Amino acid sequence: MRGACGECGLRFEREAGYFLGAMYFSYGLSILAGLPAFLAAWNAGWEPFPTGLVVTACIAAATPLSWRLSRVLWLHLDQSFDPR
């Protein structure tokens, strides 16, 4: 990840551990990624172990996107409260 925005110069990592808040967004996005697979498997009457494998695979497949998106969401939330 770049250290600052190429257009406006905003420093992305303002202090050590800045993106710790992005973990909360990432958790929510992971739930959203696994929920459809869980509901489909549950409605189909699958056993817990195969259901867990499918849900885990869906979450793992969505991780690269949710990792980046969670940082972007955290930056936007932080900028709305503290635009310095």
CA torsion angle 35 40 46 47 (round to 10): 10
3 inside domain: no
55 inside domain: yes
Give the 3-state secondary structure of residue 4.
strand
Residue range 23-42, pLDDT digits in tens: 999 999 999 999 999 999 99
Give the 3-state secondary structure of residue 8.
coil
- Domain limits for position 42: 19-81
Q: Are 51 and 41 in contact (CB under 8 A)?
A: yes
4 inside domain: no
**For the chain, how many structural domains are there in total?**
1
Residue range 51-76, pLDDT digits in tens: 999 999 999 999 999 998 998 899 88
Could you tell me the pTM of the whole model?
0.75
Closest CA to 58 of 41, 73, 70: 41
69 inside domain: yes
